[in-house]
Amino acid sequence: MKKAAIIGAGIGGIASAIRLAVKGYNVTVFEASATYGGKMKEFVQDGYRFDTGPSLFTMPQLVDELFSLAGKNPHDYFRYQRLNIITQYFFTDGTRLTAYREPEKFAAEVEEKLGVPAARVKEYLAKSAQIYEATAATFLHKSLHKVSTYLSPDILKTLPALPALGLTTTMHAANAQAFSDTRLVQLLDRFATYNGSDPYQAPATLNLIPHLEHNIGAFYPEGGIYAIAQSLVKLAEELGVRFKYNLPVTEIITENHKVTGVRTTAEVFYADLVVSNMDVVPTYRRLLPQIKAPEKTLQQPRSSSALIYYWGIRHSFPELHLHNIFFSQDYQQEFRHIFQEKNISPDPTVYVNITSKYTPTDAPPGCENWFVMVNVPHNAGQDWQNLIRVARETIIQKLSKVLAVDLSSLIVTERVWDPVGIEADTSSFAGALYGSSSNNRMAAFLRHPNFTSKVKGLYFCGGSVHPGGGIPLCLLSAKIVSDLAPNPNSA
């Protein structure tokens, strides 16, 4: 039986393991840390449970597909519900806006709170859907670096739509052209942060993202986001995949430009196929010193990172939901701080995620588990201890004012994760959350492909390579890897 070695048990590595096992490979996953999940882990502290990284879950069908592919019923492993309220927004002028599940109800709320005609909002969401429909099959489900992609019938949907895809303008410019209400523009510009980009630079094509959340829906997995990794690892193990923890890969072994296996801190493991779920930059720098690295690709600007305060709060806030956004006054300045000045705005937009709203056992009775995040630059040697201290004060002041409480007195337990910690814990280069940013219109083509023509049998998955970061795209990267991998019985 042909053997596949996977480097890393992040969501992309786990999904690749499942797909390759189904395809007929004997799969072993090597994970540097003590358990699976990568950025998607969990921890419990003083009676509060926290998901470490991702909190917004879209496109659950991509998780279901893995169970179906293995001939299992997804509901026997993994359950989720569609959110009735997607996000609660707080603007600096005091406006509060609820993003409801139904596009019509959301549009009516925008009309009532912001005075923008509901019909215009629905038109915008319909356009967002059109961009998605025209691009997804070509840009997200296939390799951009194979001629076959451009010969596939799906290209017939993409080509005629090209002029409407917004490649020549920025997200912000397109949103500001669509709406004069600066609050609605800010709400729509925020979707750039879903892949760590800057709406003032990223192409308007990314205005397809609202379609995923507002037309298809946002979801909550029973038990929290970590349940995604847990249920998929259970499936992988049932398929015979072996997970080896605390076993970092130190080298990808090649012979005559063909992969022959991996070296770990404990063994040499021979494999016919190797998939790296490690960030592509350290994969080349640390594991493949014998290969000339694709410098132009590796030197693409990084995406943003995150600073997260996990707070146990001894109070409950009925006005808050699962996802809450407290906007800044000047969004452009905030992104200038992140992407040009490489520091944190004195008035950052604050995201608060509270899973105890859906899973009450995630916090003691009457309390809430707050995942409080601000977007920050990738690590470039900043004085993080100082930035963490200052941002903490700013966030507490801001939220205390909006919620009319003394927040600092309600925090009973705390942990912090910053770009340095994110890199140390997951090997993500410079702590960037999504690999390279999408801050220019060629970004999609400049991400590393899911294979390399320099080493036969070596593939790449996860958030640092095509099609990008975030749970859905990492799952799609695994699909592309498995589609590209040779059939083990005929290879």
Ligand X SMILES: Cc1cc2nc3c(=O)[nH]c(=O)nc-3n(C[C@H](O)[C@H](O)[C@H](O)COP(=O)(O)OP(=O)(O)OC[C@H]3O[C@@H](n4cnc5c(N)ncnc54)[C@H](O)[C@@H]3O)c2cc1C
Shorter beta-carbon distance to ligand X: residue 1 or 266: 266
- Which residue in the block uniquely carries the two structure tokens 């005629």? 160
273 binds ligand X (CB under 6 A): no
Sequence-distant (≥ 6) Cβ neighbours of residue 424 within 8 angstroms:
none
56 binds ligand X (CB under 6 A): yes
Assess contact for 7 and 276: CB atoms under 8 A: yes
Pairwise CA distance, residues 292 & 470, whole Å: 28
426 binds ligand X (CB under 6 A): yes
Q: DSSP 3-state assignment of 359? A: coil
The tokens of 270 are what?
């021979």
Distances (CA, A) of 258 to 271, 274, 454: 11, 10, 8
- Interacting span for ligand X (CB under 6 A) from 54-62, 126-134, 177-185, 397-405: 54-62
- Interacting span for ligand X (CB under 6 A) from 310-318, 325-333, 406-414, 421-429: 421-429
Q: Pick the binder of ligand X from 129, 185, 233, 474 (CB under 6 A).
A: 474
Shorter beta-carbon distance to ligand X: residue 277 or 439: 277
Shorter beta-carbon distance to ligand X: residue 175 or 426: 426
Q: DSSP 3-state assignment of 333? A: helix
Q: DSSP 3-state assignment of 109? A: helix
Minimum CB separation of residue 31 from ligand X in Å reads: 5
Minimum CB separation of residue 35 from ligand X in Å reads: 8
What distance lies between CA 449 and its chain's CA centroid?
Answer: 18
DSSP-assigned beta bridge partners for residue 170:
203
State the number of binding residues for ligand X (CB under 6 A): 37
Q: DSSP 3-state assignment of 48? A: strand
Sequence-distant (≥ 6) Cβ neighbours of residue 88 within 8 angstroms:
96, 97, 98, 99, 319, 320, 321, 323, 324, 325
Residues 231-260 that bind ligand X (CB under 6 A): 248-249
428 binds ligand X (CB under 6 A): yes
- Interacting span for ligand X (CB under 6 A) from 28-36, 164-172, 266-274, 361-369: 28-36
- Interacting span for ligand X (CB under 6 A) from 1-9, 107-115, 150-158, 330-338: 1-9
74 binds ligand X (CB under 6 A): no
Residues 322-381 that bind ligand X (CB under 6 A): 373
Minimum CB separation of residue 247 from ligand X in Å reads: 7
Shorter beta-carbon distance to ligand X: residue 38 or 223: 38
Assess contact for 337 and 464: CB atoms under 8 A: no
Distances (CA, A) of 417 to 422, 425, 431: 7, 10, 10
Q: Pick the binder of ligand X from 19, 23, 39, 211 (CB under 6 A).
A: 39
Q: Pick the binder of ligand X from 103, 348, 449, 462 (CB under 6 A).
A: 462
466 binds ligand X (CB under 6 A): no
Q: Pick the binder of ligand X from 2, 12, 100, 209 (CB under 6 A).
A: 12
Q: Which residues of 379-415 are buried (b: 16+ CB within 10 A; e: fewer)?
A: beebebeebbeebbebbbebbeebbeeebeebbebeb
Shorter beta-carbon distance to ligand X: residue 30 or 339: 30
Shorter beta-carbon distance to ligand X: residue 207 or 427: 427
Amino acid, res. 12: G
The tokens of 135 are what?
């691009």
Q: Pick the binder of ligand X from 5, 9, 235, 443 (CB under 6 A).
A: 9
Shorter beta-carbon distance to ligand X: residue 5 or 131: 5
List residues binding ligand X (CB under 6 A).
7-13, 30-33, 38-40, 53-56, 248-249, 277-278, 306, 308, 373, 422, 426-428, 433-434, 462-463, 469-471, 474
